[in-house]
Structure 1
Amino acid sequence: MATRYAIGASLKQMGALLDISPERVLRRVGLSATLADDEDISVGADTYFKIWDAMRVEADRPGIEMDLAMAYAHGPFLPPIFAYSCAETLALGLTRLSIFKPLIGPVKMEVTRPNKRLVMSMKASAAGLSMPPSMGLFELLYITECARTFTGARVTPLASSLPSGFEADPDSIDYLGTKPLVSGDVSLTFSEEDAERPLITRSASLWETLEPGFREQLEDRMGTVTLSGRIKRALAEALPGGSTSADDMARRLNLSKRSLQRRLSEEGTSFQELLNETRFEMSERYLKDSGLSVPEISYLLGFRDTSSFFRAFHGWTGTTPGDYRSSATGGHGARLN
């Protein structure tokens, strides 16, 4: 099944920023204008790019790429840009951006380090399609403005490039420092000094908290998540309610119990192993990072009683939950019973 991309929120945002009608934009690409009120509307890659071109036609003025880049660099929260902002350096930030870019659009981004410089290149991820050159210019301006915001420095690319047949406007050229070269891909080149420049927005602790969720979204988007991964995620949600049998999970995932067991066997695991793994991983996190009592943790993990949790945890670790928490927190764990 072809990948689809959510556009409901961005369609409204860009309509407001450019003072254009989302309904007219949708009609231009052959979609019903009534979809403008649908927050969950999603489209394929071809339509995604057509909507960009339709918005540009509706705006009917130069400089919209700059307007949108400046607004978005200081506006809506987007997972890929958040990943960029939490990194230690500009190079790592752009690398993270390249990993999570597919979450928001049909674009493939690559980061390389030829001669220690930092080169970001971008193109359509779908075979047979090309990114609109105007969208490419927006990306160059947007990523550069984010670089300046996140570093607190006047970062200026050494060079940039855009596909042929499109001329950047004078303000964009002035902003980028040089006129973009003509090339097949959209690209930016930064100096070694800028590549290693630390980000003032960096946050290792916040990134550690949010990265797993972003990676789950990416796995879903790219279709790489395994059945084991889906079951562990479903178990984490279902454990407090106690609906954690193989039959429960099979119904939740629209599979027969037999198919579930067969596919897990092909992945080299079993339902009981996944249940134990999920409970252990969650118990570790609760004991290390929360002030929940052991009975509360036992309940959240779906055990019938606290003694069952004690026996299971001792089997996993050879120690008790209280001793584990005390060791993991340097003796400062809260509410051990």
Structure 2
Amino acid sequence: MIEVSARIASLILGAAEARGVAPTELARRAGFDLALLQDADATMSIDVEDALWNGAAELTGDDLFGLHSTALLRPGMLDVLDYVVRTAPTIRESMDRLARYNRLMHSDAVFTVSDQGDRVRIEHAFASPGRRPSLHASDMTIASLIVVARQLSGGPLAALSVELPHEKRHVDAYAEVFGVAPHFDRPIGAIELARDDVDRPCPTADAALGQVMLRHAELLLAALPAPAATFASRVKQLLATKIDGGMLSLAAAARELRMSERSLQRKLADENLTFEDLVDELRQDLARRYLADPKIAIGEVAYLLGYSEPSAFHRAFKRWTGVTPTEARRRAA
């Protein structure tokens, strides 16, 4: 089960209360026990978190509640993780710390920080195959990256690029927060910042406090159970690493994993998945990523995904998204 720190519940309840929603009413709707707010180590299921986000959006009448909630972010709201991030010497270091210590807040969410030429890219996704953040949680998470970066830098800061894993909507409202219109309907959430901005010293840096908080964060991290790699994630990783030679068949995947086809299918069934589900999911994720790059022709995307004919890819993509690859690329532009 995916677990989330009850600190996130406190953030949601506080943002809703600022809009006139009683915490007791929102907690009742979501099935959240308010007593958990008194325990710094308490967690809740991701289903309860999603219910809190959705309930807050409904009760406030704000379908951009996740995005707007970032306006209330203040130091310390996320306890140790917050102080670890906010005492960093640069924004880059703060994002690296977020990537390392985010498990203190969320058992499944993963941040990845990478250099992309003159940009630094921060990606957010779930480790569990087939699972994605809900709309409001995703909006809050990606928007919080730019909001906190501005707080750390002490000045204006605009993203160079933003990707959101949900349908296109309210473009102007998102552009107002990020400083740039996002690309929607992407496989993961991501933001790109200028390298010069993220490497600039932060006026909020505190080396002494930072070292204290880092030591504490390491102790807390060591006390967490090791993240369990699901069998499905192993199979999906295998498929992704071998896709250059064409998508592996069930028989080929079973040989690579040194088991029978029946055993492979049975282990996936234990996780309520089939081999075809994983192939479909991987192709869908990669298709969105490839289509985001205008330098890759649509026919080439079909080949990269292991389809023998472009028409087969077109049919599959329309089944996944309701639109053709050409239309998806046009919308994302």
- Tell me, what secondary structure is at the counterpart of 2:113? strand
- Tell me, what secondary structure is at the counterpart of 1:157? coil
Return closer, same or farther for 1:99/1:45 CA change in 2, 3 Å cut-off. Answer: same
Structure 1 residue 57 displacement after superposition: 1.9
Cα distance in structure 1, aligned partners of 2:86 and 2:36: 30
Quote the residue 1:210 is aligned against. Answer: 213
Quote the residue 1:193 is aligned against. Answer: 196
Backbone CA RMSD of aligned residues: 2.6
Higher Cα radius of gyration: 1
Quote the residue 1:71 is aligned against. Answer: 72
1:36-75 mapped onto 2 (5 Å cutoff): 36-39=34-37, 40=39, 42-73=43-74
Cα distance in structure 2, aligned partners of 1:126 and 1:45: 12
* Percent of matched pairs sharing the same residue: 14
Quote the residue 1:305 is aligned against. Answer: none
Return closer, same or farther for 1:50/1:77 CA change in 2, 3 Å cut-off. Answer: closer
Q: Any conservation in 1 of the 2:162–2:190 contact (CA below 8 Å)?
A: yes
- Tell me, what secondary structure is at the counterpart of 2:155? coil
Which structure 2 residue ranges, 5 or more long, are not aligned?
228-333
Q: Any conservation in 2 of the 1:45–1:126 contact (CA below 8 Å)?
A: no
1:87-98 mapped onto 2 (5 Å cutoff): 87-98=88-99
Cα distance in structure 2, aligned partners of 1:154 and 1:4: 31
Mean CA deviation greater in 138-147 or 178-187: 138-147
1:55-110 CA distances to partner (integer Å, 9 max, x unpaired)? 22222124433431121145625322322221121111111111112212342111
Quote the residue 1:143 is aligned against. Answer: 145
Structure 1 residue 123 displacement after superposition: 1.7
Q: Any conservation in 2 of the 1:162–1:185 contact (CA below 8 Å)?
A: yes
Quote the residue 2:104 is aligned against. Answer: 103
- Tell me, what secondary structure is at the counterpart of 1:181? coil
State the AA in 2 paired with 1:206: L
Instruction: Say which of 162, 165, 168 aligns to 2:164.
Output: 162
Cα distance in structure 2, aligned partners of 1:152 and 1:4: 30
Cα distance in structure 2, aligned partners of 1:197 and 1:112: 17
Return closer, same or farther for 1:51/1:64 CA change in 2, 3 Å cut-off. Answer: closer
Structure 1 residue 168 displacement after superposition: 4.1
Which structure 1 residue ranges, 5 or more long, are not aligned?
225-337
State the AA in 2 paired with 1:79: V
Is structure 2 residue 121 aligned with structure 1 residue 119? yes
Cα distance in structure 2, aligned partners of 1:2 and 1:145: 26
TM value normalised by structure 2: 0.59
Q: Any conservation in 2 of the 1:134–1:166 contact (CA below 8 Å)?
A: no
Q: Any conservation in 2 of the 1:111–1:118 contact (CA below 8 Å)?
A: yes
